[in-house]
Structure 1
Amino acid sequence: MADHGHIQDTFASNPSPSQGELSVLFSGWAQTEPSHKFGPVVHDYIIVHLVMSGKGIFHNLGKDYALSAGDSFFILPGDLVYYQADYDDPWKYTWIAFRGAAAEELLLGMDISVHRPVVTARNLRKMQLYFTRIIHTLQQGGNYTDLEAGGYLRLLLGEYGASNGNSPQGAVPPATMIQQQVEQAIRWITLQYYQPISIENMAKTLGYHRTHLSKMFKQYTGLSPMNYLLKVRMERAQKLLGERLTIDQVASSVGFTDPLYFSKQFKKWNGCSPSEYRASLQGSGKK
């Protein structure tokens, strides 16, 4: 039976997702009705959609991505997004939700982030096959459902990495080693900004010494890692204040557990409070 807004759909979930490096949570596919919209929504897991046919729009960080068959869009934890089917040619898409200790690190290595959430398939047929096998595995169930679905997910992510130009044969090395290291740190920050972050933790995760990471980061960007993190959070907060969220929700979405502290930091950064900034957006006619 189809969900509201779907002409046809299929949904299957993992009865026993693991807490390991990578685990599929659920998967499915849908043929949507014209102009069907989903969101705005925030997830606490990663979800990727592959467009099999038709067209639609994916909205993320104030930017609209026009998508068609062969395009995929990734939604990362804490990321406020919405997506909408085309009126004349509504899309049919398939999706997989997953999580795991290695999940965001794998995407980081493929240069997939909130700033680069769209990947175009080099082999649409092959990707569709992996999605189909994951759905079928979840539908069948069994003692090894999580293991088998996770195996197909790894194959699928490998295909995404190759499609995104990050295969060993197609990778273009950065101009310098410092650029490579700092750009890796920047990608890590853009993926993790909504979580508690320390220089020690980031340096350990990336395999660098704390002092070395801080020095080369400022040399390359002009900002310390923590100031760069604050910049990412404040720019993200500006976007979220244009959505229908409370100030507390905006604060939580950009990594602040204390809304009052968030408001103080926002005012220091922008010269006005979050509520004043929102009022200015409404006064200028922005949504």
Structure 2
Amino acid sequence: MVRKVGLTDSVGFACLEDLQLSNSYMWGTAISLDYCGREDCIKGWKFGPYVRESYVIHMVKKGKGTFTIAGKTYELGPGQAFIIRPGEETTYRADDDDPWSYMWVGFHGYRAEDFIEAMGYVKGSPIIKIEQMDTCAECINKMLEYSQITRINEVKRMSALMLLFATIMEDNASDAQESDNIEYPSKIYVKAAVDFITEKYMNKIKIDDIADFIGISRSHLTGSFKKEMGVSPQEYLINFRLEKAASLLRSSKEQINIIAYQCGYEDSLSFSKAFKQKFGMSPKSFRNLEVELETNDAKFGHEASKL
């Protein structure tokens, strides 16, 4: 089985996507790059309504457009950026007279909300400013440049992503400073739980074990997790184990039942069922999956090839 990581590079449009198929170092980590790109939009170009599975930040270099979320429409221009969170239905549209040129980056990870908060975003206010737009553009261009499916390029892309995040944080430091100086108990509990899972995921642990280790009730832990992560601790534990399993399937030649055991599954059938539910294929098919870079010279070329 072959899956394509798509690189489209044409006049006015460039996009590197489906990187989650090739990431080897980033499974189960704090942040992972899914896709990125840039576009000089045509007049009136509209995208949506659409619901994303990743977090996505769009940065407007020049021109104007509108962004609609939760029934509210925002007008944006150069030096502004809007955030889309997973599960949010959004629509955005280029201006009829002065269409925008923008860049975007899509990502996921258990620390995604922490990064977003540090950039100055707050829920209910999806717009922030960006003063160092040229630096942000360099970061996006570097990610596009490091398109080959190698571990070195994977790390280079992540380096460019971290520099992008740091640049946006720096531009909005005064906006985020107050929240940076406040410690929320729920965050402390969640961090302790994540550290526990990271160290003990291969063992037969239960959510009660994690709560007991931290010293809070299971219901308190669940509430803290849902507040900070958007998922329950049980969902996080399952997802973490499966992503670790995916990484081992790619990087080792161990038998699948051994990998299942190493990731906390004593029953290989239960493991296979859970793995297929998450990744859409069996562990065996995932191990045999070949990821190739497909280069296109037209917008939507990669998407059309998947149909």
> Shorter-normalised TM-score: what interval?
0.5 to 0.7
Shift of 1:34: 0.9
Measured in 1, the distance between the counterparts of 2:217 and 2:171 equals 33
Say yes or no: does 1:11 pair with 2:15.
Answer: yes
Q: How does 1:6-155 map to 2 (within 5 A)?
A: 8-13=12-17, 14=19, 16-17=22-23, 18-19=26-27, 20-138=29-147, 140-155=148-163
Shift of 1:182: 8.2
TM-score for both structures, normalised by structure 1: 0.56
Measured in 2, the distance between the counterparts of 1:58 and 1:156 equals 22
Percent of residue pairs bearing the same amino acid type: 23
Query: What letter corresponds to residue 13 of structure 2 in structure 1?
Result: D
Measured in 2, the distance between the counterparts of 1:124 and 1:209 equals 44
TM-score for both structures, normalised by structure 2: 0.53
Shift of 1:32: 1.1
Equivalent position to 2:177, from 171, 183, 195: 171
Measured in 1, the distance between the counterparts of 2:76 and 2:116 equals 20
Higher RCO (C-alpha 8 Å, min separation 6): 2
Say yes or no: does 1:181 pair with 2:189.
Answer: no
Shift of 1:143: 2.9
Count of aligned residue pairs for this structure pair: 192
**Alpha-carbon spacing, 1:173–1:146, altered in 2? closer, same or farther (3 Å):** closer
**Alpha-carbon spacing, 1:25–1:174, altered in 2? closer, same or farther (3 Å):** closer
Which sits farther off after the overlay, 101-110 or 122-131? 101-110
Measured in 2, the distance between the counterparts of 1:25 and 1:209 equals 35
User: Would you say the 8 A contact 1:31–1:93 is kept in 2?
Assistant: yes
**Alpha-carbon spacing, 1:149–1:64, altered in 2? closer, same or farther (3 Å):** same
Q: Deviations over 1:64-91 (max 9, x none)?
A: 1111111111111011111000010001
Extract unaligned runs of 5+ from structure 2. 1-7, 189-206, 228-307
Shift of 1:105: 2.7
Shift of 1:210: 6.3
Measured in 2, the distance between the counterparts of 1:142 and 1:181 equals 39
Q: Which residue in the other structure is 2:288 paired with?
A: none
Q: Deviations over 1:14-49 (max 9, x none)?
A: 351231222211111111111111001111111111
Equivalent position to 2:165, from 157, 162, 182: 157
**Alpha-carbon spacing, 1:174–1:159, altered in 2? closer, same or farther (3 Å):** closer
Extract unaligned runs of 5+ from structure 1. 186-199, 215-224, 230-287
SS of aligned partner of 1:51: strand
User: Would you say the 8 A contact 2:63–2:77 is kept in 1?
Assistant: yes
**Alpha-carbon spacing, 1:166–1:182, altered in 2? closer, same or farther (3 Å):** farther
Query: What letter corresponds to residue 173 of structure 2 in structure 1?
Result: G
Query: What letter corresponds to residue 16 of structure 1 in structure 2?
Result: S
| Structure 1 consecutive aligned stretches of length 4 or more whose deviation exceeds 4 Å | 182-185, 207-211
Query: What letter corresponds to residue 10 of structure 1 in structure 2?
Result: A
Measured in 1, the distance between the counterparts of 2:162 and 2:77 equals 24
